[in-house]
Structure 1
Amino acid sequence: MKPVVALVGRPNVGKSTLFNRMTRSRDAIVDDMAGVTRDRHFGEAMWEGRPFVLVDTGGFLSNDADSFAAHIRAQVEMALEDADHVVLVLDGKSGVSYYDRDLVDLLRAKGKPFFCIVNKIDGERHEIALTDFYALGIEEPFPVSAEHGYGFSDFMDALTEDMPLEDEGNDGQPEGPIRVAVVGRPNAGKSSLINRLLGEERMVVSEVAGTTRDSVDSLVEYGGKTYLFVDTAGIRRKGKVTHRVEKYSVIKALQSLERCDVALVLLDASEGVTDQDVRVAGYASDRGCGCIFVCNKWDLMPPEKKDVKRMKEELAMEAKFLGYAPVLTISALTGQRVIKLFPMIDKVYEQYISRVGTSHLNRIIEDATARTEPSLHNGKRIKFYFASQVRTSPPTFALVTNYPDAIHFSYKRYLVNQIREALGLDMTPIRIKFQERSGRTDYSDKRSKPSPELLRKLQAKRRSRKRRNR
């Protein structure tokens, strides 16, 4: 699991601005008005090859007339419980507040070490403002400007110093059970399916949507293999999620997708394919795990509507980005075809961790580019020099080319489809990364100039050739 870093501080100190800079995004709303952020906001971040999960929290107020103050405090405390690293953000312009003292006391009571940054410090001449914050008992606050980037690199180096580097070379099958997350809308039958697979009533099942609040792991052995099934809370549309506990449950469900190999996207067949089903499938696709569409409650379908082919066509139309995901119709209540999940999970997982030889991969790319060449870039040909698989889970391939940014997404999709067809990887996501050629210079590009040393060698060779011709 990636380390979790939580940003905490009182309102309007710049946490969301810092969040956007650390994640290199604009996902967090930033405004001069205090209290814009009320709930926790999660994002992916990386610094010098060290990935981590970043959590932005609402402004901390120990006692306030605002009706959201208690809710925000609860969100902050939950973020502190889950965090591996805590960053306390202080305001260098407004100075020390008694809310800052309350927050420092809370962090010390939790017993977690924390980094302290004093934000809105735009240069060395403003670092004198740091002296006021030593009264909080903080040894080394980092002067930072989240908006302009001053001091940001030094702070990030210190924060990520002990974090593990990203694993780019996953060779072979990972140890341990196959991890399977069961996700879907509330009341789709996720807990009923887990109970059926376990053969016991371990999960609380109710007709009331939202019964499951946390992600629960369950080990299942079948056919000599071990599977870790994760029952998750139902994921509703953001506008429908209002209760604090439910929001926390949805976050936990999304985190479960981070650590799974295969996601079972559960649909209520009696209601058909909804927009939220497609949205949940998109969450699984974005996190790069293998996917299986599981149409539950098939026993409730009228006989005239029990058309598996039509269901597959509907899913193919609504979720085109998951065209590789297989579809299975089941009934968790009666056990109909539930047992078929295991061989299907095995097939998806086998492709998910598959590896191909470099020479074979290069032949596939050569044949594909010879059959259909990419479009010209500024009148010049796009060349592919070398291809290799850089990781599994999912299969990820790096293609070295002269113009990586000029390759159209449609041609990238074409290469993915060629790899699928050649390797039989029809049930797993595939990722392609284009990398610029390093080392030798491509002289077909007139903007590329040889070094002076190389130019002298070329001129000497020409002079030598002329002498021999004489």
Structure 2
Amino acid sequence: MKLKRISIIGRPNVGKSTLFNVIAGFRKAITSKTPGTTRDRIEAVVKTVSKQFLLVDTGGFDEGNSRMKSLVREQTLKAIDDSDILIFLIDGRDGLLPMDRELADLIRKSGKPIVPVVNKSDLKISNLIKNEFYNIGFDNFLFLSAEHRDGIYELIYRIEELLEEHTEQPISDLSSEVKMSFVGRPNVGKSSLTNRLLGWERVIVSEIPGTTIDNIDVHASFGKKDFIIVDTPGIRKRMRISTDLEKESSLTAIKSIRRSDIALLVIDASEGITDQDLKIANLIHDEGRGFIVLCNKWDLVGNQKTSADEYKKEIKFRLGNLDYAIILNVSAMTGKGTEKIFPEVHALAKRMKTEFSTPDLNSILKKVGIEHPHPMATGKPVKLKYIHQLPANSPIFQIFSNQPAEVEKNYVRYIEKKLRNAYNLKGVPLKFKFRKGDNPFIRH
């Protein structure tokens, strides 16, 4: 059974994102004083004491002429159509505007249960203005202030009542879902790939770099497997971040990597892997996330002399020590190669949870020491005496040595290579910690 979908609908800058953040319990959407900041639909699973539902924040409904406003309007209309319950939000300070009336007519025609809410009611609203709200045909308006969290509990209670009436989904275990995020420079096709995977325009796509401002969580199923897709804002070079909002979007993209199990670095195949791509790749590795490189726009490259295998070799060479990443040549435009994404993500998520046998690890470590001893340091041999896996979301190994500070980076890479040869660890980051001592489990 699917979760009930509850969408917050309203014209721009009435406080939809602020209300979404308060209900969702964390700062998921970027809020701004600039009207129309939220361009895409943003979703979060919300659990109350007894209920669970999918909360959706929509872009502001605006009757404008620009292409972007038209796209946002289409998304809002689709959100209304897809929703089970609608929260209709009005700005109490502005009073009732013509656009509010138009939107009220639109959502009333949908036939969906509606919770009418007047936001920014921290200032006293006169009875005359209150009567104006009731004149648009809704009963039981809730007056609240999302910014100051006044009246939120009443809204949650109203939502729970409607869920009770309309048979909600029981709370289920979502831990089996694999969280995956698309990261990369602006305009490399992250949103287009999301849309291709989902089969419809879930995320607004535009030729304007930086169109996607927020992290957009989308729940998806492939076969019998569940995924959460986080479509992130592009990570721009610091020197190119021109506004506070863009700077915050870059930080949000970095946070999305930390929220994910698997990070998919999207690059422009026609440009190859850039220095900025490599910086993002290192960030993925440092955060210990499963690592896949999606070479998008392969349709612009694949018909040239360069073969797919040759191209992958070039990418691996550029990645250097991060060449363990899975590399897929894909095209969001034609769909070629995109059918491999979900299966690869699922398989990588399973490999990320690999449990390594301590005896097997020590057998490999011993063999490494015999075949290729570590160089002397401070006039003494450097001995690696014991290795075991630490509890973590990705493989981290602790190695005991007589001189842990002297272990060379190249030697660590050699150990990593041997482990990768012994196990199937494509796309899995490996980390090593060194401690002074012998086998910690042998009493002397």
TM-score category of the 2 structures, normalised to the smaller one: 0.5 to 0.7
- Matches of 1:371 and 1:329 in 2, distance apart? 37
Matched, 1:373 2:339: no
Q: Give TM-score scaled by structure 2 length.
A: 0.58
Unpaired runs of 5+ in structure 2? 1-32, 35-145, 150-173
Please report how far the alpha carbon of residue 389 of structure 1 lies from its aligned counterpart in structure 2 after TM superposition. Answer: 0.4
- Give the Å deviation of 1:439: 9.6
Q: Distance in 2 between matches of 1:227 and 1:250?
A: 23
- Superposed, which structure 2 residues align to 1:334-345 within 5 Å? 334-345=334-345
**How many residues get paired?**
274
User: 3-state SS of the aligned residue for 1:271?
Assistant: coil
Match of 1:240 in 2: 240
What residue in structure 2 maps to residue 212 of structure 1? 212
Cα distance between partner residues in 2 of 1:439 and 1:411:
20
Partner of residue 303, structure 2: 303
- Which position in structure 1 is the counterpart of 2:160? none
Counterpart-to-counterpart distance in 1, 2:285 and 2:390:
19
2:388 match: 388
Which one-letter code corresponds to 1:375 in the other structure? P
Conserved 8 A contact 1:354-1:392: no
**In structure 2, distance between residues paired with 1:286 and 1:183:** 15
Deviation at 1:387, TM superposition (A): 1.4
Contact 1:273 1:314 in 2 (8 A): no
Note the alpha carbon deviations across 1:115-162, whole angstroms, 9 max, x for none.
xxxxxxxxxxxxxxxxxxxxxxxxxxxxxxxxxxxxxxxxxxxxxxxx
Please say if 1:406 is aligned against 2:412: no
Matched residue type, 2:417: N
Alpha-carbon distance between aligned partners in 2 of 1:416 and 1:313, rounded to the nearest angstrom: 20
- Who is 2:203 aligned against? 203
Q: Which residue of 1 aligns with 2:250?
A: 250
Summarize deviations over 1:332-386 as a string: whole Å, max 9, x none: 1221121111222123222211111111111111111111111122222222332
Q: How far, CA to CA, are the matches of 2:314 and 2:214 in structure 1?
A: 31
1:161-220 per-position Cα deviation (integer Å, ceiling 9, x unaligned): xxxxxxxxxxxxx93311111011111111111111112211000011110001111111
Q: Partner of 1:266: helix, strand, or coil?
A: strand
Contact 1:361 1:388 in 2 (8 A): yes
**How far did 1:305 drift?**
4.3
Asked if structure 2 preserves the Cα contact closer than 8 Å seen for 1:399 and 1:432, the reply is yes
1:388-467 correspondence runs (5 A): 388-437=388-437
Instruction: Tell me which amino acid in the other structure corresponds to 1:323.
Output: D
Determine the C-alpha separation between the residues in 1 that align with 2:206 and 2:305. 26
SS of the aligned residue for 2:317 comes to: helix
Kept in 2, the 8 Å contact 1:391–1:397? The answer is no
Counterpart AA for 1:223 = G
Q: Show the 5 A alignment for 1:171-190.
A: 175-190=175-190
CA distance in 1 between counterparts of 2:181 and 2:302 reads 29
Distance in 2 of aligned mates of 1:346 and 1:403: 39
CA distance in 2, matches of 1:257, 1:369: 36
Tell me the CA shift for residue 249 of structure 1.
0.7
Once the 2 structures are TM-superposed, how far is the Cα of residue 391 of structure 1 from its aligned partner?
2.4
Tell whether the 8 Å contact from 2:401 to 2:438 is kept in structure 1 after alignment.
no
Higher relative contact order (CA 8 A, sep 6+): 2
- In 1, the alpha carbon distance for the partners of 2:302 and 2:338 equals 20
Which letter does structure 2 place at the counterpart of 1:369? Answer: G
2-structure distance, mates of 1:262, 1:390: 20
The 1-side partners of 2:438 and 2:336 are apart by 56
Is the 2:272–2:315 Cα contact (8 Å) retained in structure 1? Answer: no
List 4+ stretches of structure 1 deviating above 6 A.
109-112
SS at 2:433 equivalent? strand
TM alignment of 1:106-185, pairs within 5 A: 175-185=175-185
Counterparts in 2 of 1:59-74, with a 5 A limit?
none
Question: How far did residue 306 of structure 1 move?
Answer: 4.8
Q: 1:274-313 maps to which residues of 2 (within 5 A)?
A: 274-301=274-301, 303-313=303-313
Matched to 2:353, the amino acid is I
- Give, in angstroms, the shift of residue 277 of structure 1: 1.8
CA distance 1:280–1:305, shift in 2 (3 Å):
farther
Q: Are 1:237 and 1:276, in contact at CA under 8 Å, matched by a contact in 2?
A: yes
Distance (whole Å) between structure 1 residues aligned to residue 250 and residue 321 of structure 2: 23
Q: So what's the TM-score if we normalise by structure 1?
A: 0.55
| Contact 1:191/1:231 (<8 A) preserved | yes
Q: Distance in 2 between matches of 1:186 and 1:305?
A: 28
The letter for the 2-side match of 1:276 is Q
State the partner residue of 1:230: 230
Alignment partners' CA distance in 1, 2:438 and 2:365: 19
SS at match of 2:270: helix
User: How far did residue 432 of structure 1 move?
Assistant: 1.0
Secondary structure at the aligned position of 1:218 is classed as strand
User: Separation in 2 of the partners of 1:198 and 1:266?
Assistant: 17
The whole-number CA distance in structure 1 between the counterparts of 2:385 and 2:267 is 44
Match in the other structure for 2:260: 260
Cα distance in 2 between the residues matched to 1:262 and 1:202 = 21
Tell me how far 1:243 sits from its aligned partner.
1.7
The separation in 2 between residues aligned to 1:306 and 1:377, in whole angstroms, is: 46
* Cα distance in 1, alignment partners of residues 362 and 287 from structure 2: 27
The Cα RMSD (Å) is 2.5
**1:426 deviation in Å?**
3.4
SS of corresponding position for 1:304:
coil
Residue 388 of structure 2 aligns with an amino acid whose one-letter code is S
* Offset of residue 438 of structure 1: 7.0
The 1:416–1:302 alpha-carbon spacing in structure 2 relative to 1, beyond 3 Å, is closer
- Secondary structure class of the residue paired with 2:267: strand
Q: Cα gap change, 1:249/1:299 in structure 2, threshold over 3 Å: closer, same or farther?
A: same
Alignment map for 1:83-122 (pairs within 5 Å): none
How far has the Cα of 1:232 moved from its partner?
A: 0.3
Q: 1:158: which partner in 2?
A: none
Query: Contact (CA 8 Å) 1:385, 1:401: kept in 2 or not?
Result: yes
Residue 193 (structure 1) aligns with: 193
Please tell me whether the aligned partners of residues 352 and 428 of structure 2 are also in contact (alpha carbons under 8 angstroms). yes
